[in-house]
Each structure stands twice: as structure tokens, then as C-alpha cells.
Chain A
Amino acid sequence: MPKRSSLDAVIVGAGVVGAACAYYATRAGLRVAVIDRGSVAGGTTGAGEGNLLVSDKEAGPELDLALLSAGLWRELAAALPHEIEYEDKGGLVVAPDEASLEALRSFAKGQRAAGVTAVEAGAGDLRELEPHLAPGLAGGFHYPQDAQVQPAQAAARLLAASAAEGALVHLGEEVTGLVVERGTVRGVRTRTRELLAPAVVNAAGTWGGRIAELAGTTLPVLPRRGFVLVTEPLPRVVRHKVYAADYIADVASGSAALQSSAVVEGTPSGPVLIGATRERVGFDRSLSVAALRRLASQAAALFPVLADVRVLRTYHGFRPYLPDHLPAIGPDPRVPGLLHACGHEGAGIGLAPATGVLIAAALSGAEPPLDPAPFKPDRPFGREPGPQGQQP
């Protein structure tokens, strides 16, 4: 058994974010332990779809993070086993009418200034890019930087690569308390032991608020439920990630009500994924027929051929949501020794590598590749919306 004091950090959570933190911290020469109460990817990561999108983000700090991540994912695709199923297939955002196409144009203009490649596609180009797309769309934008991975594999391979370089992995062990000495975090406590380290990284996703609480502070992470439909395996009928322009408005909305705008995409194994709805209903696990109806009708509106395929299953997950739609990344000035890496909402798979790099930089004192200020965990979040923050 290694000496406890030999650790530089304990990372709580073996989702994709915790795994990416472990990966980049290990590569920075740090000795870390990852601890999770369940399996790797047993939280929201296992429910995620694996879209690595820049297309849906308006110019600003989240887009900068996404662009940094897009490059890191390309590197990871070369470094990790092919099972992570990285595919740089590109995204296609379509506009049903001239008014929404105009809105897309100004959205894309801002994104281009930030470094995004966005190519306008006329009505004719759309059919070329996606032969099965519904007729009559006004046009759209092609985003070649959008890509995809298989989230559970990505998390598992990031973690396995970290373990191969010396990271310790403790699965099936819940963090029930933090070791805090004179206001400073010194490690974590489980039912059977303490793991001591000068830094603890909160990568507990939707449950990150609880870890903050254990450290004596707050972080208002709330669950935002999403449903996904999975069809029977099909030959390649959908080539890109395709969604309608109004998706972008949903992502940015803070409303608790059900919203949806289907993102439709094929997977290497054949099934088409249609996701995802967004609604704040706490950790409600019951099936929402309304959510299924919306996803199905929107998918059929984009790709009429899908109306006749069968849906094999549906699943849901709870996105870790912070009221201003930005993750919390970096040291918590209120509690020395505590760092946060959570609250990525519907983009945690995409944003994981950049998050890992920022956390590794914070732990090792290196220069971060971008300004982490917008992600400060102690920023004002305003009045907390809605009840529903409770775990069942």
C-alpha cells in the first residue's frame, strides 16, 4: 500500500471529467487518486451522447473552452485506443425558414471571430451533405470541427491510461466526508478510511453540490434531465450531427420547463441517437411520454425516413447544471485545498479535456492555456432557481 502522504491530489468522481483531470494531472507529473462510489462512467457520463460540439456555443468563455477541447480531443484520438470511437464527422445546423437562417448567420459570425469554422450551406448543399434531410429547408451551416466520442469508453480509457502512468483508482467507494483542518481541505473520508492529499478535486458532476457542502461551502449544481431515443441499427442514413437552429436557444435557456430540439446522429454500430430534451424536474426517473413525443416528431421532421424505423429503447440522465450555464473549474478561494471541476451541464464530454488541462495547471502551478476567470467557483450565481436540487 502506497504511503498516504505521497498523493498530490484526490479526484472525486470517475466520470469523463474526473478521468480527464486524472489524465492531464498524471501527465503533468502529479500523483493522483481517483475515487468513485460506483463504476467508471456510472454517473451522467454513461447517459451522455458524446457530441463534441462547438457549433451550439455562442462566442464567449464556453466556446473558448470548447475550441481548446476540440484540439485536445483530436490529440487524444491518436493517443487512446480506437475504442473511444472518435469521429470528426462535423455538425450541420439547419434552418427551416429564411428568418432562422438569418439568425444563424449572425450567430456564426460571432463564432468565426472566435476561431470556429462555419460554412454556410444553401438549400441545395444540404441535400448533398445529408441526402435524407427533409425537403424545403431554407439552408444551414456546416461545422467541420464538431466531432463525437463514445463517452463511457472515453472515460474508461482516459482513466486506464492514467492508471498505467501511476494514478490510483478506487471504485465502489463513496466519499462521505472531507478531511478539513483549520479551514483547509486535507483529503477525503470514506466509510473505511481517509485518503490524504493537499488538494481535493470535486469532479462529482451533478452531485458536486454535495461535495462542496461537505467542505463547508456551496455550489448550486442542479440536475437537468434529458431523454434520448435509440433506434434499431440502420445503414448510414445520417452522416453528420444534425439539428435545427432552435436547439441553440434551448441550450442557453434557464427555464425549468421541458424543452427539446432533437440532435440526430448515426453511430458506428448502427443505431441512430435522437437527443436530448432538457427539463428541470429534480431526479425524477419516470418516463416522460411528452419528451419522447417531442424528440420523435422533431427527428421525423428533419429526416422523414426515420418515421418508419423502430425505437429500441430510451434512456435518460441528469446533467449537472449551474444557473449561468458555465462550469465551475479551479480552486475555490473560500476553502483552500478544494478545487472544482463540475457543472458542465450538457457539454461535459466535450469540455472534459480542457477542464482536465486547467485543473492540472492549477495543481502544478503551470500557466493555464486560457483565462480560467469566467469559471471561478465563487462567482455570484444569483438567486437559485427552482427547488429540485435534492437527491432522491
Chain B
Amino acid sequence: MPTSPSDPSSQEPSVPGPVVPGPAGLGRALPGSADCGPAVPDLAVVGAGPAGLAAAVTAARLGLRVALLDAGERPGGQFYRRPAPGLGAVRPESLHHGWAAFAAREAALRTHESAGRITYFPAHHVWTVVPDGGRWTLHAVAGPEERSVSVGARAVLLATGAYERQLPFPGWTLPGVVGAGGAQAMLKGGLVLPGKRVVVAGSGPLLLAVAGSLAAAGAAVPAVVEAASYTAYAGRLPDLLRNPGKLAEGATYGGALLRHGVRLLTRHAVTEAHGRDRVEAVTVARLGGDWRPLPGTGRRIPCDALAVGHGLVPQLELATALGCATRSGEDGTVALELDAGQRTSVPGIWSAGETGGIGGAQLALAEGELAAFSVAGRPAPAALVRRRSRLRAFAGAMAAAHRPGEGWTGWLREDTDVCRCEEVPAGRILEATRDLGARDARTVKLLTRAGMGWCQGRMCGPAVAALAGETSSAAGAAPDRRPLSCPVPLRHLAELPQHTD
């Protein structure tokens, strides 16, 4: 393998010459399409988080003409969030590991933008990607005024990231109960704390990061309540040892927690949040091996906020609507099936980052770069390939450790709302499965409306599937198809160009 650009995850090397035939004669511009230069881009990247951003700047460096579309207003995705300019934060990097890696890529984005190699579309939510005469058309809803925009491209990279997995419990809809990742995002994006005394609960490595940030920002964190046990990592010790960076990160968190006197309770869960108008306390109980709460172990911890999350779920609407093959991950979520070059099963569609299985920002960066090499038809640097497989193996180990045990449903009561948009309690879901013949999440949804509201099941999907007795590890787990990845004004659909017929 030729040694090509030095480890691309370090810095932006100089731009090598174009490696892809000039984009001449790539068909007409779309009626009503955004102006992205005279020619159709070689690659459209959806998502400007670590994966998409890395892919876009690497692809541009390799000579591709790139369109980068992202629902957010600024690049960075879920990880590299920062306060809006008006908030006057001086050092957003203080809340981040690896800010330099991001800053370098953001700078590269700006350079490529002004050189016309990347067209960046912030605040563009892509609602579908469709094949269109040998290339792809991406349809998006743009800006607060909800403009309709279409962008064509010869290849597409989906880097749509993940969202937080929530498992309901009595009281989870009380004000003051926020997502753990959401709390982190609030802190990074607006420098606001969800409360003064915040219990952090759920499962996954994110909890430690969140607790560390909250404590550093001045909140009291009476406990971090983790449902899994870290001894579960022991079985995958080799993967951990091959990822010293990760261990260091954990140690940083651990150190910060110790300094702030935060207690870590493993094999425990918040089984109820109490309060009238707002959360005032939580009940924390010890869990058995399958996450079933052990009777008689509950105790109350007073707090004025609860940050809770049970890991992340890949965001796959665009990919599944395209028919990309999926696999079930070790954490019980459904992820895309990808080859060594980050290709999905649909020719012309690539993916990188959390969509291929939850693995963190470092992995997302590496995969984004790998994908760019693959799209450009160039061999990837060996170091990058090694990095990616090392980080993937580690991600697998973490995923397995934090897979929710089936007994979590033991902390639900019949009147606990599982779907908060449509206010569907657990009892109705149980009735649908026990008495009415629903054997999967789709039928539960049809019979109860769970998952039919505004969030379209992003919030309750995993919980409903578990209550319906679906084990996502079942062969060929097909996530529910939700062909529009965001609400689309009917007018946009009505005004789509005729030639899509």
C-alpha cells in the first residue's frame, strides 16, 4: 500500500491534485435546487458531526467536490457543541476533549469552502435521499423559514449520528428530568445547568463525562447511577488495553469525579422520580444481573434535577428508507452493515460514525476519513485503517457491557407513560401484546398510537420494542421504517419537480 497523506487525523496536509475525473457533463441542475456551483458535486455528506466533517474535508483534500448538509446551524454535531456566539464564552474547548482535532477540521472546512471545493449547507435537514437517473437527489427543509432545497450528487455519505436511548420509569416526564446527553448539550451549547443538585443516571460511558462536566460547572452531583457493572469490561480487557487513549479519558473523568466527591453506584438504577411540579428526589435501587430492581433496596436521594440516558441509538431513517442493510449491535440497537471501506449495502451510499454502531467521536473522525478515501477510490493509509479497527473493537466491548438487561421493565408501573407524545401508559402496551395479538413494535404502535406523535418514536421506540417482546438481536432486525426523517411542509412535497415521476 502506498504511503499517502500522513495520518490524516492529525493535521490537514497540503492539498494533493484532484484524483477524480473532472465533474464535467454531470447532468442538468435541478429545478429549484440550491446553487452549488455549475456542476453536480461528487459527494454529498449528510451530517457535519465528527464523522461528516472529517469526511467532507478529507474528500475535498482528495480532490472531490463536496456538498455538506447539516441540520445544525454550526458544524460539530453532538460532540463539538459550543455556545452561540452571543453568549460570550471565551473557551468552549474547556468542556471538550480533543478540541484541537475539531478546530483543525473546522478551519479546513472554511478553507475548502472559500476555494469552492466544499459547499456547506447549515440548517438543512435532509428528509429523504432518492436515486435519480444514475445519481442521487437529496431533499431538504432549510432554515427557520422552512425553504425547500434539493441537492444532487454522484455519491452520498450518511453521517447522521445518533440520539439518546431513554427507558421510561415512573416520574420520568416530570420537569427537571433531562436526557444525560441533553444536559451535556445544554451545558456545552448554552452554559446552563439543569439544576443545582443533579443525579446522573442510566447506562454508558457518557454518564461519567456528563457528571464530570456538571461538577466542573458547579453543580453538586450526589451520585452517578450506572445500571451496568464495569466489571463487564474485564472480559474484553485486550480491547481496552489496545485503546490506551480511552483509558486515559476514563481516568480523566474518574479523577474529576473524585475531586468533586461524586459517588459512582454501579448495578443501580433510578426506578422512580418524585415531585409535584418538578423533580424533588429520586429512588435508587440495586439491580440484579438482568437489571431487574431488587426488592427492598430502594432509597431516596434528594435532588432538583436528574440527567438520565441509556446510551445512544443510531439515527438511520435516511439509510433504511434507501434500503441499506442493518445489523444488530452488541448494545441491542440496530446499526448499518458496513464494509471495510464504509460502504453500505446500497451502491453509491457510504456511511460513517455512530450510524455504523455507537463508538464515540474518535471513531467517528477515523471512519469519516476512511469513507472519504473509499469514495475517492484511493487506498486508505494503513495507520488509519488500524486505528479504526482498534476503536471499533473497543466500541464493541463497551456496547456489550451497557446492553440493557431485560429486567428493566420491572421498574415500570401500568400507569407509567411510555410514549410521552401520545400519552400511552405501559398498561396499554401490555394489553396490546397480551390480549390483542401484537407481537412487534409496529403492531403495538398501530394499536396504541405509541410512537405516532411528534417525535415519531425516537423517544419511546426502544422501550416499546422491548415491551413488545422484540429482541433486536433477532436475525435481520429491521428498524421501523420512517421514510421522512423530519416533518416536511406539505407544500414542499406538492412542489417537487415533475421529473421525479
Contacts and interface: CB of A to CB of B under 8 A. Distances in A.
A172 B496 CA distance: 41
Contact of A295 (B139, B432, B436, B493): B493
Contacts of B438: 39-40, 156
A292 B439 contact: no
Interface stretch (A141-149, A238-246, A299-307, A332-340): A299-307
Contacts of B452: 269, 271
B496 to A, nearest CB: 4
B344 to A, nearest CB: 14
B446 A46 contact: yes
B501 interface: yes
A40 B436 contact: yes
B242 interface: no
B421 to A, nearest CB: 10
B407 interface: no
B322 interface: yes
A257 to B, nearest CB: 10
The interface centre, meaning the residue of A172, A229, A311 with most chain B CB atoms within 10 A of its CB, is: A311
Interface string B434-462: 01111110110011010010101000000
Interface string A236-257: 0000000000000000000000
Contact of A42 (B443, B487, B489): B443
A290 B500 contact: yes
Contacts of B393: none
Contacts of A309: 489-490
A315 interface: yes
Indicate the size class of the contact surface on chain A.
Answer: 35 or more
- Interface-central residue, A42, A172, A308, by most chain B CB under 10 Å: A42
B490 A287 contact: no
B322 A156 contact: no
A297 interface: yes
B483 A307 contact: no
B349 to A, nearest CB: 12
Contacts of B498: 293
B205 to A, nearest CB: 33
Given A286-B323, A311-B484, A312-B454, A152 B447 contact: yes
A41 B490 contact: no
B437 A293 contact: no
Contact of A286 (B322, B449, B493, B495): B322
B412 interface: no
B443 A41 contact: yes
Given A286-B322, A289-B500, A39 B437 contact: yes
B440 A42 contact: yes
Contacts of A46: 442-443, 446
A74 interface: no
Residue of B139, B321, B436, B496 ringed by the most chain A CB atoms within 10 A: B436
Interface residues of B, number: 39
Among A14, A152, A314, the one with the most B-chain Cβ atoms within 10 Å of its Cβ is A152
A343 to B, nearest CB: 23
A38 B496 contact: no
B439 A229 contact: no
Contact of B490 (A40, A286, A306): A306
B321 A286 contact: yes
B128 A287 contact: yes
B316 to A, nearest CB: 14
B466 to A, nearest CB: 16
Contact of A159 (B437, B490, B492, B495): B437
The CB with the most chain B CB atoms within 10 A, among A269, A296, A306, is that of A296
Nearest to A156: B436
Contact of A299 (B322, B483, B490): B490
A215 B359 CA distance: 51
Contacts of B492: 296
A115 to B, nearest CB: 33
User: For A172, A231, A285, A310, which residue has the most chain B Cβ atoms within 10 angstroms?
Assistant: A310
Given A46-B446, A287-B321, A40 B437 contact: yes
Contact of B437 (A156, A287, A295): A156
The residue among B422, B440, B446, B452 with the most chain A CB atoms within 10 A of its own CB is: B446
A285 B432 CA distance: 27
Contacts of A156: 432, 436-438, 447
Contacts of B454: 232, 312
A362 to B, nearest CB: 25
Most buried by A among B321, B432, B456, B483: B483
A171 interface: yes
Contacts of A3: none
A90 to B, nearest CB: 24
A39 B442 contact: yes
Contact of A311 (B439, B440, B488): B488
B1 interface: no
Interface of B: 128, 130, 139, 321-323, 422, 432, 435-440, 442-443, 446-447, 449, 452, 454, 456, 481-484, 487-496, 498, 500-501
19 contacts: A39-B437, A40-B436, A42-B442, A152-B443, A153-B447, A156-B438, A157-B436, A160-B436, A271-B452, A285-B323, A293-B493, A296-B496, A300-B491, A309-B490, A310-B489, A311-B493, A312-B487, A313-B456, A313-B482
Interface of A: 14, 38-42, 46, 152-153, 156-157, 159-160, 169, 171-172, 229, 231-232, 258, 269, 271, 285-287, 289-290, 292-293, 295-297, 299-300, 306-315
Given A293-B501, A313-B484, 11 more contacts: A39-B438, A229-B490, A232-B454, A293-B494, A297-B494, A297-B495, A308-B489, A310-B487, A311-B487, A312-B484, A315-B483
